[in-house]
Amino acid sequence: MSKFKDRFHLTPEQSLFLAKKKWDENVYCGMKMENRAVTFPQTQTILNGINVPSVQLDDIQAILNMRDAWRFLLNTVNETVTLEYWCKLNEYIARNEALEWGKLRTGSVGISGTDYEPPVPEKKKATDELNSILNDANISATDKALKAFTWGTRGQFFWDGNKRTSLLLANKILVSSGAGILTITDKYMEQFNSLLLSYYNTGNDAELKQFLYDNAIHGIRF
């Protein structure tokens, strides 16, 4: 039985409208998750194709990468999520930022602020775990999205861009199901980071998922 019921039940047209309306805010969310020194107005300006001299080039690259990942998501909103699709999201997001992008990492990594070391991912195990989340008929799309997000962030399956890739994966699940969109606003970012760090240390995602459900699922109310 699903703990996190869908709070929104949008038609495909309404869901796509919401995603297109909120995608710039979601790009900004991705930047703040990575502690990038950019403001929302700066992010919007760059997304509109206008240069912002005060923003570093690698931050501009990260914004444009998320822009392209969102464009890919919106153009493939009805496609089935697979490991290959998930890797494609990372290919856009981590382009020119990581050792490799769009491929599962093959070496060890650490996470700042915690002693937890995620294991090197195995393709079959990752595929099975992802499919287990996506194909669970007993839980809602929102529940699947929250599980996919927390699983992806702690697993650190890619060399870089794991939080952003997991954010896009969660939103692919939500948007394609008409269940809203996952975006963490500035107001909740510090609390999110604290809960995420605790989750890295303990492996218990219950508090983090409840927080996201209460504060980061947005939609259209009629």
Asked if pLDDT for residue 32 goes beyond 90, the answer is yes
CATH number of the domain that residue 66 is part of: 1.10.3290.10
Average pLDDT, rounded, for the chain = 95
Domain assignment of residue 179, yes or no: yes
- Per-residue pLDDT, 178: 97
- Per-residue pLDDT, 216: 98
Helix, strand, or coil (residue 137): coil
Confidence of residue 17 (pLDDT cuts 50, 70, 90): very high
- Per-residue pLDDT, 188: 97
Domain assignment of residue 7, yes or no: no
Asked if pLDDT for residue 1 goes beyond 80, the answer is no
Domain assignment of residue 4, yes or no: no
Which of 22-31, 96-105, 121-130, 211-220 comes out lowest in average pLDDT?
Answer: 96-105
Domain assignment of residue 165, yes or no: yes
- pLDDT digits over 83-135, tens only? 999 999 999 999 998 789 999 999 999 888 899 999 999 999 999 999 999 99
Domain assignment of residue 200, yes or no: yes
Q: How many domains does one find in the chain?
A: 1
Asked if pLDDT for residue 150 goes beyond 90, the answer is yes
Which of 4-18, 95-109, 132-146, 151-165 comes out lowest in average pLDDT?
Answer: 95-109
Q: Of 96, 78, 79, whose CA–CA distance to 13 is shortest?
A: 78
The reported pTM is 0.96
CA torsion through residues 66, 173, 119, 125, sign: negative
Whole-angstrom distance, CA of residue 108 vs CA of residue 120: 6
Radius of gyration (Cα) for the chain, nearest Å? Answer: 16
Domain assignment of residue 195, yes or no: yes
> Which whole number is the average pLDDT over 70-78?
96
- Per-residue pLDDT, 42: 97
Domain assignment of residue 193, yes or no: yes
User: Containing domain of residue 65, as a range?
Assistant: 12-218
Asked if pLDDT for residue 4 goes beyond 90, the answer is yes
Domain assignment of residue 78, yes or no: yes
> Which whole number is the average pLDDT over 74-78?
96
Residue 218 main-chain phi, psi, to 5 deg: -120, 155
- Per-residue pLDDT, 2: 78
- Per-residue pLDDT, 98: 77
- Contacts of 204-213 with C-beta under 8 Å, sequence gap 24+, read 205/147, 205/150, 205/151, 205/154, 208/150, 209/4, 209/146, 209/147, 209/150, 212/146, 212/149, 212/182, 212/184, 213/4, 213/142, 213/146
